[in-house]
Structure 1
């Protein structure tokens, strides 16, 4: 999905992990070819994936924020 906060104000976004292996897994599962040439550092600093890319069971909701529950997130499309 091409998601923006402008379209859905309640949509949570998650920054790419710093770990190169996990970061690459996120890129592969995101379905976004435009991210394939970016370094993990670039992705971590400048890009995010929205909650729609993750299984709902992997998202922990608190009063003010949403977090990913696991170090090994599962992405969906």
Structure 2
């Protein structure tokens, strides 16, 4: 997995301990929304499994209300 955010022009790295990173979802429709919002042509040809394995987005690209936190992990919500 790459250790940087997949959003265009974002230089944040997953090595930053104060920032959550989210893997792309496996659900095809939800994954496509993430790809569309990234506006990166190089992500268009990848499958949801490829994206989940290799790419991620940092929390700065999600509204706080879209992130569900538990003791064990943080997850981007359906929205």
2:32 is the alignment partner of 1:18: no
Q: Which runs of 5+ in 1 are unaligned?
A: none
Task: Provide the residue aligned with 2:68 in structure 1.
Answer: 60
Q: Which runs of 5+ in 2 are unaligned?
A: 1-9
Q: Relative to 1, partners in 2 of residues 1:44 and 1:12: Cα closer, same or farther, differing over 3 Å? A: same
TM-score, L = length of structure 2: 0.70
Task: From the superposition, tell whether residues 33 and 9 of structure 1 become closer, same or farther in structure 2 (CA, over 3 Å).
Answer: farther
Over the aligned positions, Cα root-mean-square deviation in angstroms equals 1.9
Question: How many correspondences in the alignment?
Answer: 70
TM-score (norm 1): 0.71
1: CA distance between counterparts of 2:32 and 2:11?
19
Runs of at least 4 residues off by over 6 Å: none
